[in-house]
Structure formats: structure tokens, C-alpha cells
């Protein structure tokens, strides 16, 4: 790919071709070839102060990172889960040990972990970040995955509580009732104006509580709809 000869109006075509090629990649080396191209493209774009090319380089790199992660977790053609020996074959050749291949390609354990986190990010969230963030970064994708995982774990825990026969739902109802009753004893404006040094921690707790209660409301509604 000769970066100097790519006209700006050809960027969309270059991007679509890269997307297609990456979907068809079945080896770490192939994906790394694309990350190397994207790195060279980014360097050139920085030198030329070409924001469009810089964005294109980031998009290609993150898609290559995602494909590396898919391969590392045993994903072939975007289908997650364990694979049979036949499914793990490319043509007539069985796939090599992908972890060792990644190490041989120069990827560190941390880089492999990041690639897998990006691969596990749900497709709508991944596409939204890659297409709308200027430019998209590995940090934003891994942070989105961690938030996704946290939400999933909270939802699983709430479902377990709602389905429990040991009285936990009643326990939570009682705790929530106590909290709402205490709300009547204080002026929220007064509390908010006296946070001082604890402001950051308190706001963090409030945000977590808001998210937690919102998920309880959503999950409880969905669960009772199917009863």
C-alpha cells in the first residue's frame, strides 16, 4: 500500500477493502500485517497533518486488533465458542497454536489480553466507537468492554437474587424502603453543598447506585413479564 499515492477520495474504498480482508483473516500474522500497515499510515498521516487518513489508520488498526482477539479466543468468521477440529482448519491445513503464534509475532500477554477484550465487545458498541470516535483508540474500546462486563455481572447477580428462594428479594426491598425513608429526613441540597473533600467519592457512589437501581428496575420488569 503506497500511502503517498492514495487520493483522499479513495479512502472509503481503501477502508471497505481492509474491512473485508480483515474479516477473512485466519492467522495472527495476517492481522499483524494490517496493524503494521495502519501504523505506517498513521505515521504518514501525522507528517502530512491529514486528519482523514489518521482516522482511517485508527479504524483499520482497531479492526485488526479485534480480529486478533477473535482468533485468540477461538473465533472463526465471527462465530464465538469452542470449535471442532474441522472448524479450526483453514483450507486443508489445521490452525497452529494461536497463542504461540501471537508470541512469535511479537505480541505481549497484555496485548493479547487487550485484543481479546476488544473482540468480546458487543458488535453494536464496537461499530459505534470505531465509526464515530475521531480517532478511535484501544483504550476507549477496552474501557467499553470493562463497562459491558461489569453491567453483565450486575445483571446476572440481580437475576439470581430475583430467582432466589432464600428471601433475598425481601431483604433488598427492606433495605430500599429504609433508604427511601431516610431520604425524608434530610435536605438533598444541604448534603450536596457539604460534600467538600468527599465529593468525588460520594458522587462515584451515587453514580454506581443509580446504575444499580436502574438495572434492578429493568431486570425485574423483564423477569416478571415472562412469569
> Is residue 158's pLDDT more than 50?
yes
pLDDT classification of 119: cutoffs 50, 70, 90: very high
> Is residue 166's pLDDT more than 60?
no
pLDDT classification of 96: cutoffs 50, 70, 90: very low
- CA–CA separation, 57 and 135 (whole Å): 9
What does the pLDDT look like over 35-80, one tens digit per residue?
Answer: 999 998 999 889 889 999 999 999 999 999 999 999 888 744 444 4
Burial of 74 (0-12, 13-18, 19+ CB in 10 A): middle
Which of the pair, 16 or 94, is modelled with greater confidence?
Answer: 16
- CA–CA separation, 175 and 64 (whole Å): 47
In Å, how far from its chain's centre is CA 180? 35
- CA–CA separation, 122 and 77 (whole Å): 15
pLDDT at 225: 54
Which range has the top average pLDDT, 25-29, 100-104, 109-113, 115-119?
115-119
Q: Mean per-residue pLDDT for 120-145?
A: 93
pLDDT at 124: 94
Rg (CA), the chain: 24
What does the pLDDT look like over 24-40, one tens digit per residue?
Answer: 998 888 998 999 999 98
Amino acid at each position: 500500500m503506497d500511502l503517498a499515492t492514495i487520493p483522499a477520495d479513495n479512502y472509503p474504498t481503501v477502508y471497505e477493502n481492509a474491512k473485508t480482508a480483515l474479516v477473512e483473516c485466519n492467522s495472527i500474522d495476517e492481522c499483524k500485517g494490517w496493524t503494521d500497515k495502519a501504523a505506517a499510515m498513521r505515521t504518514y498521516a501525522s507528517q502530512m497533518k491529514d486528519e482523514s487518513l489518521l482516522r482511517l489508520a485508527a479504524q483499520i488498526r482497531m479492526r485488526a486488533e479485534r480480529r486478533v482477539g477473535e482468533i485468540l479466543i477461538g473465533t472463526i468468521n465471527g462465530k464465538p465458542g469452542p470449535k471442532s477440529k474441522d472448524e479450526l482448519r483453514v483450507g486443508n491445513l489445521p490452525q497452529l497454536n494461536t497463542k504461540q503464534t501471537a508470541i512469535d509475532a511479537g505480541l505481549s500477554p497484555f496485548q493479547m489480553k487487550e485484543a481479546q477484550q476488544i473482540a468480546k465487545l458487543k458488535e453494536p458498541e464496537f461499530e459505534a466507537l470505531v465509526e464515530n470516535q475521531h480517532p478511535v483508540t484501544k483504550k476507549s474500546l477496552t474501557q467499553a468492554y470493562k463497562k459491558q462486563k461489569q453491567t453483565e455481572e450486575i445483571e446476572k447477580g440481580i437475576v439470581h437474587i430475583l430467582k432466589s428462594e432464600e428471601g433475598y428479594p425481601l431483604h433488598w426491598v427492606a433495605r430500599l424502603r429504609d433508604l427511601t425513608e431516610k431520604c425524608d429526613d434530610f435536605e438533598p441540597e444541604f448534603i450536596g453543598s457539604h460534600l467538600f473533600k468527599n465529593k468525588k467519592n460520594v458522587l462515584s457512589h451515587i453514580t454506581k447506585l443509580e446504575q444499580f437501581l436502574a438495572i434492578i428496575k429493568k431486570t425485574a420488569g423483564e423477569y416478571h413479564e415472562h412469569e
